[in-house]
Chain A
Amino acid sequence: MKDAFGLPQSLLVLGGTSEIALATARRLVVRRVRTVWLAGRPSPALESAATELRTLGADVHTVAFDALDPESHEAVLGKVFTEGDVDMVLLAFGILGDQAHDEREPVAAVRVAQTNYTGAVSAGLVSGRALQAQGHGSLVVLSSVAGERARRTDFIYGSSKAGLDTFAQGLGDALHGTGVHVMVVRPGFVRSRMTAGLEEAPLATTPEAVATAIELGLRRRSETVWVPGVLRLVMSALRHVPRGVFRRLGL
């Protein structure tokens, strides 16, 4: 069960090797989380993530989960929920893709969309229904500021996050009053493996900062969390910049 500060005791991470997810899991294990399910494609990275969390004192299980195989989500995630209450689901899988390459290879672009959006739709619905049945829990969805407005340099990734973001907002409304809390997290540029080698955007942040913001959001029962918080203002301004001007800004 979550405590008065919204801190969970059990955590299911979808995308168990995500750096933001692991920073969040570490932070929550230090506080209240005692049981963690790391779901992801079986890999040495997934196992080493599990080992690291175990050293912090958590009981960690790994679960074979593939975002690109929505048919399996019901069975795979359903099994986790039968083992006990899941207080928080962190939907953290996603790929950035390579914009230039993906524009030339539509199949690769579709893979980005399927992972980030289609996979999340099925995993989100399965998790949402299970949380509703247990009458409590938080579903934390890692979206991105890239979903707020299309940019020349990452619109394939951005559009998939836009879809995910809209889906998660609607799911939050659908689950309102059922005891389930859906929180959309919109980080800006996060320094991580995913963005290694890319030119850093202004207001860049870290996985640890995102984790801190998630913990605060749980305490406040927030529905939307921007990381850093000032991006809420920046993006609400940028949203209203005319297309022609926006193009020339070179963001």
Chain B
Amino acid sequence: MSADTVPVTGWGRTAPTAARLTRPRSYEEAVAAVRGCGARGGIPRGLGRAYGDAAQNAGGAVFDMTGLDRVHAIDADGGTVLCDAGVSLHRLMEVLLPLGWFVPVTPGTRHVTVGGAIGADVHGRNHHVSGSFSRHVLSFELLTADGEIRTVRRDTPLFDATTGGMGLTGMILTATVQLQPVETSLMSVDTERARDLDDLMARLTATDHAYRYSVAWIDLLARGAATGRAVLTRGNHAPLDALRASGTPGRGTRARRNALAFRTPRLPSPPAFLPEGLLNRTTVGLFNELWYRKAPRARTGRLQRIPAFFHPLDGVPHWNRVYGRGGLVQYQFVVGHGHEEALHRIVRRVSGHRCPSFLAVLKRFGDADPGWLSFPVPGWTLALDLPARLPGLGPLLDALDDEVAAVGGRVCLAKDSRLRPELLATMYPRLDDFRALRAELDPRGVFTSDLSRRLAL
């Protein structure tokens, strides 16, 4: 084995496979890497935040894109940025916030690259207003399997195949992204508690439109009448006026001068080796109880910094280690409006199985974007983090897949590490178009990942 062949996993740290890791630092090196990647192909990888096997390629090449990390041009008036695919959203926030611009969409972590955000067509807490990331991408440059670099614009098949295409149409080199104007780097946040799932869904449905960002944390260990009890957190970017009002952390003139400051607190990371079973029903049950009780019944207008509101887990580097050597599985699905009963059934099933999930997040999706394998469709989406070693988890999730597929829902490919391939075509009706385009664009399968092998994408 040569020295650069290393075991690679996703953020969930399950199912490691070995690949040759190369890190192109120029477009020329990127072209050379793609042309010389060998019989088992290659796949671009950003910061490795996809939970499953999307950025792994057993026996082949993995292109680490983080060496291509230049911000080329910012149009501070029009609010667009042209940058390399390997630039992280964290870096963009550092650069753009002082200029009064924010990324249009951010998932639960800032540590994703622009290329990854397009490839997975990530969504955030503003999906009901802003759609997913690709809606704000004006164009990108794509290095395809033939070694050519193509400029890909909106409303073309290649654009729609690539946004959400999990890196399988080619390697994104640069992208132009439309940004979101902000007056401050603070969020004005309203928090309320919902006593059960019905209460939560009613609150979300009734008032979601009043907030740009909206998300609910659910206690899935609560049972009986409290099944689905939740803490609902919603917010908007705080206007400059809000800083004049009293309240932490932005009081006073100094705060106003630093209204666009971007500071990111960091706690120490958990040790590399933790015992198994740290997250069990008892510890997670205690955490959930505390978390629910700690949340105010209702509080409005609290000012929070961007990292605290959007990316609380980013404060703990390598938080995935707390799941131990067995790793974690994230299960995220969406069911359309009108299928609330299916959501109820799934929540009851998960609660009944006593899954120790301390991260269970419910959101309402707005309109879908045209990406063929893009995940969001209008409806309800629930995401759960679960320890992979939980007994009976595999069969439980298989059963949930059936529930989801039966009502025309789908699971998220960027999170997936265990879906049965035969359900994929039901969940993603444009799958055949995707396969046909790939067969034409990349007949030798140069761009290949463990995900694409597992699901025959």
Contacts and interface: CB of A to CB of B under 8 A. Distances in A.
Given A1-B53, A31-B394, A177 B59 contact: no
A87 B293 CA distance: 47
Interface string B1-41: 10001110000101111110000000000000000000010
Contact of A177 (B18, B19, B40, B52): B18
B58 interface: yes
Given A134-B40, A136-B58, A5 B18 contact: no
A105 interface: no
A178 B329 contact: no
Nearest to A57: B422
Contacts of B12: 4
Contacts of B53: 1
B18 A178 contact: yes
Interface in A80-120: 85
B59 A4 contact: no
Interface size, A (range) = 20 to 34
Contact of A136 (B5, B18, B327): B18
B1 A178 contact: yes
Given A135-B19, A220-B326, A5 B450 contact: no
Name which of A31, A134, A135 has the most chain B CB atoms within 10 A of its CB: A135
Interface string B313-334: 0000000000001110100000
Interface string B323-365: 0011101000000000000000000000000000000000000
B393 A5 contact: yes
Contact of A6 (B5, B15, B59): B15
Given A135-B18, A136-B450, A5 B418 contact: yes
Contacts of A134: 40, 58-59
Interface string B440-457: 000000000010011000
Interface string A1-19: 1111111010000000000
A132 B59 CA distance: 7
B281 interface: no
B195 interface: no
A115 B5 CA distance: 35
Name which of A5, A31, A32 has the most chain B CB atoms within 10 A of its CB: A5
Interface residues of B, number: 33
B420 interface: yes
Given A4-B417, A32-B420, A133 B15 contact: no
A219 interface: yes
B418 A4 contact: yes
Contact of A133 (B7, B59, B388, B420): B59
Given A31-B394, A220-B326, A2 B15 contact: yes
Contact of A3 (B1, B16, B40, B454): B454
B292 to A, nearest CB: 29
B58 A135 contact: yes
A1 B59 contact: no
Main secondary structure of the interface of A (DSSP, over half): loop
A181 to B, nearest CB: 9
Contacts, number: 80
Interface in A217-239: 219-221
A134 B186 CA distance: 49
B332 to A, nearest CB: 14
A42 interface: no
Nearest to A177: B7
Contacts of A1: 15, 17, 53, 58, 450, 453-454
Nearest to A5: B394
A179 B394 CA distance: 22
B389 interface: yes
B104 interface: no
B100 interface: no
Given A136-B59, A178-B1, A4 B52 contact: yes
Interface string A27-40: 00001101000000
Contacts of B59: 133-136, 179
B60 interface: yes
A19 B453 CA distance: 30
A179 B17 contact: yes
Given A4-B14, A179-B7, A135 B418 contact: no
B454 A220 contact: no
A7 B394 CA distance: 10
A179 B417 CA distance: 16
Nearest to A179: B18
Contacts of B418: 3-5, 7
A22 to B, nearest CB: 21
Contact of B5 (A9, A34, A178): A178
Contacts of B52: 4
Contacts of B60: 135
Interface in B92-120: none
10 contacts: A1-B15, A1-B53, A3-B15, A4-B52, A31-B394, A34-B421, A133-B59, A136-B58, A179-B18, A179-B58
Interface of B: 1, 5-7, 12, 14-19, 40, 52-53, 57-60, 325-327, 329, 388-389, 393-394, 417-418, 420-421, 450, 453-454
Interface of A: 1-7, 9, 31-32, 34, 85, 132-136, 177-180, 219-221
